[in-house]
Amino acid sequence: MKLCVQCHTHYLDEGDACPADGTDLVAVGDDPLLGKTIGDKYRILHVLGRGSMGIVYKAVQNSTGREMAIKFLLQPPNANDQGETIVKRFQREAKTLSSLKHPNIVTLFDFGFTNDNKPYLVTEFLYGLTLTQFLRQNGYLDPKKAMPIFEQVCDAVSEAHHHKVVHRDIKPDNIFLQGKDSGGRFIKVLDFGIAKLLDTRATTSLTMDGRVCGSPAYMSPEQCKAIDVDLRCDIYSLAVVIFETLTGRRPFDGDDAMSVMFAHVNELPPKLSAVRQGGDFSPKLEEVLLTALSKEPSRRQQSIQEFWEDFSSACQGKTRKHAAGWIPFSAPTSRLSSQANREIKAGLDWDLLHAGSRSKDSQAIYLHEFRRKQRIFFIRVGLCMMLGIATYLFFFGHEERKERTMIETADILTLHGSPETEIKVLERMKSERPLSGEDSERLNNAYVQSAIKSAKKRRFVDAVDMLHKVSPRSHYSEQANELIRRYKHH
């Protein structure tokens, strides 16, 4: 069996080029589903694509001749419990898709199970190309040209959010462009396969241990940390997609998935103008995307409608109108006014103490006035001190919280097999100040895990060098010495 990688059509082993487009054919293994009829209704034609959770085929409905897309679930080969969980997730996808009726969301026609219990979904077949393919051909889009695409995407995601559905995997591959440039593009949002249905009646978690849902390049920080997400994670992912569409590059890149996830959690995104110089990016547009890419969900736009209003207004050079009764925040000036300075000086007007020459009544009045102003003075001094302490705690405490977040994220990466990142974080901290006992042990553990990883790749010299970095006073010292003796024999 041979495959054309351009049109995804399968052919028998005869011929070396695709008859349709002349592309060289690639030899692939025989697919038992090709040519088969599913559910006595749909005849499989060829593979359209493969994902982490399933394979999509092009098919035709026997009764009507209508072209369809059929997605089959990929079952894990060695976990019955997980297999059952994935089947439940697949059924949830069918339920999710069937509850969403919107012109910009792919239509679900049917779902079921094959004779050998493989679950499948039947959706409409789309002609066109994904946003990924479009950007590969065109590089990038200017803001005003990108607006019609993302207006439809926002409409689709808003409809999903209305049904308490979080997509959780918004990326260019899941944004499909139909139609011609001259007639405009009609958009379909695809693949709610890992969507989370926020149904309060469904209390059982269907997330498998040790796995995170989403594509690392577009995942929100909360997804990278494998914590609970809500509708705002879609705003972050969509902002990443828009950033890539406007510049031709993603805001965060790395050598592997773990380094990209680490960047999502810890690094600030670059400006659009820094990535694509000469682009027509207004300060307001930069601000809108920077807000949407905030690490904390509470600092992003709080709904997809709010994000679209901000984005479209920025692209058109307008200011979004706020609701009636909205009061802009105005911070107090940092300098005291001259009037305030005069009042403070008056609070220490020692001439008031020279009241002996005055009458007893006027002396009492002056003393009362003096004490009142004195109280006001000390209250102001106390407030200034409290403000100074709060400012200190905010800036220096913020740095400490940032370091804690970086360490916690590095721990997660170590658990996922990337101890090198934790080593970089902790060694950088160690160069700036002494590590605490707990963080020193984290670093020693990361040295051991990195050595074990190198040994698995038969890089025993690197493994031994890494183990020599473990402190002799560490709890991991005995394990490190034992591994050194073992690795030196190789």
On whether the CB atoms of residues 140 and 248 are closer than 8 A, the answer is yes
164: number of Cβ within 10 Å: 14
Closest CA to 242 of 182, 315, 299: 315
The predicted model gives 287-295 an average pLDDT of 94
Helix H or strand E encompassing 419:
helix 419-432
pLDDT at 359 > cutoff 50 = no
Residue 197 identity (one-letter amino acid): L
Among 418, 440, 420, which residue's Cα sits nearest to residue 429?
440
Interval 278-288 mean pLDDT: 90
Question: According to the model, what pLDDT value does residue 210 have?
Answer: 40
- Helices 304-315 and 232-247 pack at an angle, to 10 degrees, of 20
Give the best-scoring range by mean pLDDT among 205-214, 284-293, 359-368.
Answer: 284-293
Return the H-helix or E-strand segment holding 187: strand 186-189
- Rounded Cα–Cα distance for residues 412 and 408 (Å): 6
**Which residues are CB-contacts of 293 (< 8 A; sequence separation ≥ 6)?**
236, 239, 240, 243, 251, 269, 300
Confidence of residue 442 (pLDDT cuts 50, 70, 90): confident
Q: Does an H or E element contain 47, and which? A: strand 42-50
| Residue 155 annotated as catalytic | no
CA torsion angle for 287, 290, 292, 295 (degrees, to 10)? -150
Nearest to 165 by CA among 102, 76, 85, 242: 102
Place of tokens 């897309």: 69
Amino acid at site 237: S
Look-up of token digits 């789309």: 126
| Confidence bin at 422 (pLDDT 50/70/90) | confident
Per-residue pLDDT, 237: 95
Nearest Cα to Cα of residue 282 among 274, 291, 272, 292: 272
On average, the pLDDT of the chain sits at: 76
Do the bridges between strand 119-124 and strand 108-113 make them parallel or antiparallel, or are there none, so unpaired? Answer: antiparallel
| Two tokens, residue 337 | 């006014």
Name the residue with higher pLDDT: 111 or 14.
Answer: 111
Helix (H) or strand (E) holding 197: strand 196-197
The answer to whether the CB of 58 falls within 8 A of the CB of 43 is no
Question: Which element (helix H / strand E) includes 405?
Answer: helix 360-415
The residue with greater pLDDT, 371 or 212, is 371
Cα–Cα distance between 83 and 245 in angstroms, integer? 36
What pLDDT shows up at residue 437? 84
31, 155, 169, 230: which one is catalytic?
Answer: 169
Cα 366 to Cα 351: distance, rounded to the nearest angstrom: 10
Strand order in 186-189's β-sheet? 129-130, 175-178, 186-189
- What are the phi and psi torsion angles at 25 (to 5°)? -85, 145
In this prediction, residue 193 carries a pLDDT of 54
Q: Which residues touch 360 (CB under 8 Å, ≥6 apart)? A: none
The region of weakest confidence among 5-14, 101-110, 226-235 is 5-14
DSSP structure class, residue 119 = E
Mean pLDDT across the stretch 45-60? 80
- The owner of tokens 């042990």 is 441
Least confidently predicted of 19-33, 57-71, 91-105, 139-153: 19-33
Q: Which of 374-378, 432-436, 458-462 has the lowest mean pLDDT?
A: 374-378
Q: Which of 57-66, 145-154, 164-173 has the highest mean pLDDT?
A: 145-154
pLDDT band for position 53 (cuts 50, 70, 90): low
In the chain, % of residues over pLDDT 70: 68
Over residues 280-295, the mean pLDDT reads 93
Closest alpha carbon to 158 in 91, 100, 223, 237: 100
